[in-house]
Amino acid sequence: MTEIFERALRYLKAGLSIHFSGPSGTGKTSLALRVARSLGRPFSIIYGNSDFSSADLIGGNYGYRRKKTIDNFIHNVYTIEEDFQLRWLDKQLTKACREGHVLIYDEFSRTRPTINNILLSVLEEGVLFLPGSDAEKQTIAVHPEFRIIFTSNPLEYAGVHKTQAALEDRMVTIELNEMDRETEVAITMANSNLSGKDAEKVVDIVRDYRVIVPSSKNCTVRTCIKIAKVMAYEELSEYRSSTIKNMVAEILFSESRHPLINRKEMYPQVLSLIEKHL
């Protein structure tokens, strides 16, 4: 992870855009935040989704104006003028381009590719085109300190669109792989008050669960953290109680809601793997 962090920082300092790609829970967003902080510039984060529009990225014309004019001589006489006057309001991409901020575009490939096309000229020519009538059209020269960090899940995840080649060409993609056991233990400990030994037990439960349950790719280090938080709150003597075992099973199952998983059928198997480690 440290090496990836170093490389990411160097790409960004050299003026390139980067993209952390990998399965859920591999630490893409956390890493993007760490790297963005290290650049020492203001940063913001946006989350791609299928409903995302150009206006959500760049901004739009919004506005309503209400004006009250008070008569200078007769204090209770005033006039109110109301009109709709559209005013342009920047959204994060435009703001970041103007002011040289770092923009984290999390899960960018969940946004429809046509919406993300606006980024092509930003990344290649360093210009952002804002829409409007011919007279109003604005071209913003992108600030030299502007940087963008993309993150995405692989294509097989629900709701992920294929990224257009032209956009992929304009970023450096860094692949993050599933975490090894040691990293999962360290992250579980860092995010809960659990000791190393108990964090290992939790990680082993989740890792074994992934082996026996199909389609459990949502069972990530996030699942380990949830279980660890529950256990950190309990006395050691409670670990083997049926309440705790059921809670652990419940957390595991809730991360893998898949039509193929018959919870009732799998329950004894999952319970025995929990007992094996606790």
Cβ-based nearer residue to ligand ATP, 122 or 199: 199
Q: How far is the CB of 11 from ligand ATP (least distance, A)?
A: 18
Is 213 or 221 the residue whose CB approaches ligand ATP more closely?
221
Closest separation between CB of residue 28 and ligand ATP, Å?
4
CA angle at residue 215 from 209 to 217, to 5 degrees? 70
Query: Who contacts 49 (Cβ-Cβ below 8 Å, separation ≥6)?
Result: 107, 110, 111, 159
Q: At 6, which amino acid appears?
A: E
Q: How far is the CB of 95 from ligand ATP (least distance, A)?
A: 23
- Retrieve residue 211's tokens: 């082996």
Instruction: List b or e across 187-197, with b for residues whose CB sees 16 or more CB atoms inside 10 angstroms.
Output: bbbebbebeee
**Long-range CB contacts (< 8 A, 24+ apart) of 241-245?**
244/278, 245/271, 245/274, 245/275, 245/278
Shortest distance (Å) from residue 262 CB to ligand ATP = 25
Nearer to ligand ATP, 17 or 151 (CB): 151
Return the number of the residue (35 or 266) whose C-beta is nearest ligand ATP: 35
CB of 245 to ligand ATP, least distance (A): 23
DSSP SS3 for 156: coil
CA 62 to chain centroid: 27
- Pick between residue 24 and residue 44 the one whose CB is nearest to ligand ATP: 24
> Which one, 54 or 223, has the nearer CB to ligand ATP?
223
Residues that bind ligand ATP (CB under 6 A): 24-30, 151, 153, 187, 190-191, 221-222, 225
Q: What is the DSSP letter of 162?
A: P
Contact between 92 and 149 (Cβ < 8 Å): no
Question: Minimum distance between the CB of residue 14 and ligand ATP, rounded to whole angstroms?
Answer: 24
Cβ–Cβ under 8 Å, residues 124 and 170:
yes
